[in-house]
Every structure is written in C-alpha cells, then in structure tokens.
C-alpha cells in the first residue's frame, strides 16, 4: 500500500429503528462498516513528478504576481487597501460555497452583507466571507484553534454543525442514511483530534513547495472531515490562510475556488486519487485552478476599472463630496443604505441622502426596495461585473 493511501477499519453500526429507509437500504445497513484511517503526513516525504511540481511552481509565481500588480489597481476607500481585496474575498467565498451547492448571486450577497432581508443561501455565503476573513486574519497563528474559529464564523447559526467544535460522531459522504454504502467514510471521530494536530504540523513545515503543500493540506483536511458540516468551505479557507502565511499573498484573496469550479468533477476525482495514494491529481487541479483564477480576476478588475472611470465622468458633484467619496465603497459593497453611508463616510443623514440622490440622478445607483424605512440602493454596473465573473467561473448567478 502506498504510504499516503488511507487504511480502513471495521466499525460497529446499528441504525436507529425509526430511521427512514427502504428495505434494501436497511438490509445493506446491517453489521459493520468500513471507516478510513488517514495516514499521518506531518513528517512524510512526497515524491512528486517533476512536471507536476514545475506546473505548481509556475502557478505559485502567477498568484504572487497577481497579488503584487493589483495592490493599487482600484481607487482606495478611506486610505485602506483597494476595494479589490474585499471584492475578491467575496467572489472566492461565493465560489467556495457553490462547490457545495450553495449559490447566491452578487446582488443577494451584497444585500446580505448589509444585514438586510435576504435569502438563506445569501446569508450562508455571507457567513463564508466572514469565515474566510477569520482564517486569513489568523494565518500567522495557524492551529487547530484558528481552524475552529473559522468554522465557528461559518456555521455560527447552525447548531447541528457544532460550530467551532470537532465532530463527535461518524459522518459520511454520499447522502445515504447509513455509512455502509457511501462514496467515502471519514475516520471515526475519536481519531480526529490527533489527525488535526498532525495536519497543523504539516501546514507549518517550511521544506515543502508552497502550492504542493497547500494542495496536500487541503486534501488531507477533506479526508479527515473534522466537522459535522461545513468541511469543504472551511477547508478552502485553510488554503488562503496558508498562502497568506507563506507570504505568497499579502493583499488579496486569489479566487482559487472559482478556478476549481471550472471542473468540479475533476476536483472531486482528485480528492479520491489522493485518498488512494496518488497526490499528483490534486496538485494539478490546484495549479490549473490558480491559473484560471488569476485570469478571471484580471478580467474582473479590468471591468471594475472601466465602471469606475465611467462613474467619474457621469457624476457631476464636486470633488470631495460625499457622493464622490462613496464611489470606491460601491466597488466592494454595491448595495447601500443611508445608514451605511452615514457610518462609512461619517456624514449626517441629510448629507448621506443627498449623496444617494446625486448618484441616482447620475444613473449609478438604483433603488431596490420600497418604503421609507427599508430603502436600499444597488450599483448595477458592479453587480453585472461580478455576475460576469461568476459566469466565467461556471457558477450560476
């Protein structure tokens, strides 16, 4: 057996009598099932083919170049980093959620970010944004605790997932009522704490090429499946924490999940190959996803630059006005309320409303709700650019 291949152990199982299932499923659920035993990888050596390793290094250089070249690609808001950092964080979070079948368009996500009325999927994606940011903020302190913090942010309102806690029971991948016939059965919950400590130790190594290390760490995380739910999304936050920790990215969240969306079947197949002992496919998938993400990200920033240039021409208000100061904010938060404008520009309610009126007159904002108490406005050009990004990534908007 390859040293990277998962092992297996037989475990006892008894389905609850009231578990809804067919006679065929109940017959298959009798007796023991096989749970995986992932190997410890913290001290493992990996023999990666030279062409796979070279492609990974090329992809890593492209990520680093993208991070550097776009640091000042869009106008700044309040002296902070260009809003592209927020834009890419949200697009990556939305793409990561879409891999798990959770879809929210740019408009719904922008509204959810305001804590306004929004659908469940949009709220879930908004939580993924928070989890992604939490993981990146904790990159220098990469530990089981920081991974738990990211999971807490992601699943905070879903009690069944035990937010911020490792699972305390068996899970399986495939959707059936018992683990006996599923696609993959992760390890028993008792093994999870030690496996997570081993994974963190691997993540902290400095002798493994970065993108190879990131790819293998992600695959190992998904194999351990340490949570009741939210494993895929939390595992992809680990990718960005590691890229930030290694110094490859300093400013941006490169939308690697959007790259993975171009071929999700290949991504899931590569995870299966990793569990069978072959790490090359998952490294290749991350390399190709990185190239796709950078290309798509460059197209997005070009589109947003064009939007901003048009706004500058269309808006007639004076330089330094609240309306003009709001423009950079709209690139990263294309849905706003008067309250949002007051808080982010530190202006009075009348000044905020005047800015909205000027932007509406210029065709930059459009009202999307009715009534005086729940009015919000949307920057349609930004929404269109973000939805185009999603379409190119293969994600429904």
Please give the pLDDT value at position 141. Answer: 85
Q: Please give the Cα distance from 253 to 3 (Å, whole number).
A: 33
Annotated binding-site residue? 232: yes
Annotated binding-site residue? 235: yes
pLDDT along the chain (397 residues), means of 10: 86 76 73 94 95 96 85 50 52 50 61 60 56 68 90 82 93 84 92 98 96 95 94 84 86 71 85 96 94 87 90 90 92 88 94 96 87 78 87 60
DSSP class of residue 107 equals H
Looking at the annotation, which residues are catalytic?
A: 225
Please give the pLDDT value at position 107. Answer: 73
Please give the pLDDT value at position 380. Answer: 93
Q: Which two tokens stand for residue 241?
A: 């924490």
Structural domains of the chain, with CATH: 7-298 (1.10.3290.10), 316-389 (1.10.10.10)
Only one residue has tokens 């760490």, namely 217
pTM strictly above 0.75: yes
Please give the pLDDT value at position 40. Answer: 97
| 377 contact partners, CB below 8 Å, separation of at least 6 | 335, 336, 337, 356, 359, 360, 365, 366, 367, 368
Annotated binding-site residue? 236: yes
Burial class (CB in 10 A: 0-12, 13-18, 19+), 105: buried
Annotated binding-site residue? 233: yes
Q: Are 193 and 163 in contact (CB under 8 A)?
A: no
Report long-range pairs for 167-174 (Cβ below 8 Å, ≥24 apart): 167/192, 167/225, 167/226, 167/227, 167/228, 169/228, 170/11, 170/13, 170/35, 171/225, 171/228, 173/225
Q: Which two tokens stand for residue 386?
A: 């973000």
Please give the pLDDT value at position 397. Answer: 35
Please give the pLDDT value at position 98. Answer: 46
Please give the pLDDT value at position 93. Answer: 52
Please give the pLDDT value at position 244. Answer: 85
Looking from the CA of 388 toward its CB, the CA atoms found within 13 Å total 15
Residue 277: left (phi > 0), alpha (psi -120 to 50), or beta?
Answer: left
Q: Are 70 and 283 in contact (CB under 8 A)?
A: no
């Amino acid at each position: 057996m390859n040293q990277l291949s998962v092992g297996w152990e037989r475990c006892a199982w008894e389905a609850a009598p009231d578990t809804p299932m067919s006679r065929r499923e109940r017959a298959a659920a009798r007796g023991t099932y096989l749970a995986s035993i992932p190997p410890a990888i913290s001290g493992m050596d990996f023999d990666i083919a030279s062409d796979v390793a070279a492609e990974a290094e090329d992809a890593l250089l492209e990520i680093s170049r993208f991070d550097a070249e776009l640091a000042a690609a869009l106008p700044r808001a309040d002296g902070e980093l260009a809003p592209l950092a927020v834009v890419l964080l949200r697009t990556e979070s939305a793409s990561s959620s879409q891999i798990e079948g959770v879809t929210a368009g740019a408009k719904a996500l922008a509204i959810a970010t305001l804590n306004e009325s929004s659908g469940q999927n949009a709220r879930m994606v908004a939580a993924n944004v928070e989890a992604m940011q939490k993981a990146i903020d904790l990159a220098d302190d990469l530990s089981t605790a920081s991974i738990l913090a990211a999971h807490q942010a992601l699943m905070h309102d879903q009690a069944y997932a035990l937010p911020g806690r490792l699972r305390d029971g068996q899970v399986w991948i495939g959707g059936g009522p018992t683990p006996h016939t599923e696609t993959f059965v992760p390890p028993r919950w008792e093994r999870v704490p030690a496996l997570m400590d081993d994974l963190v130790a691997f993540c902290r190594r400095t002798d493994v090429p970065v993108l190879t290390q990131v790819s293998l760490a992600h695959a190992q995380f998904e194999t351990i499946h340490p949570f009741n739910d939210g494993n895929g999304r939390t595992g992809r936050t680990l990718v960005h924490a590691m890229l930030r920790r290694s110094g490859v990215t300093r400013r941006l969240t490169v939308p690697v999940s959007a790259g993975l969306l171009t071929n999700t079947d290949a991504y899931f197949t590569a995870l299966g190959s990793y569990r069978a002992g072959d790490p090359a496919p998952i490294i290749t998938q991350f390399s190709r996803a990185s190239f796709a993400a950078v290309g798509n990200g460059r197209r997005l920033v070009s589109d947003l630059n064009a939007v901003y240039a048009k706004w500058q021409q269309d808006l007639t208000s004076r330089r330094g006005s609240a309306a003009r100061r709001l423009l950079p904010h709209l690139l990263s938060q294309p849905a706003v309320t008067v309250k949002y404008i007051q808080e982010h520009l530190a202006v009075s309610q009348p000044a905020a409303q005047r800015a909205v009126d000027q932007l509406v007159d210029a065709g930059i904002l459009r009202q999307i709700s009715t009534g005086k108490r729940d009015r919000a406005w949307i920057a349609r050009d930004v929404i269109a650019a973000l939805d185009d990004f999603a379409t190119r990534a293969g994600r429904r908007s």
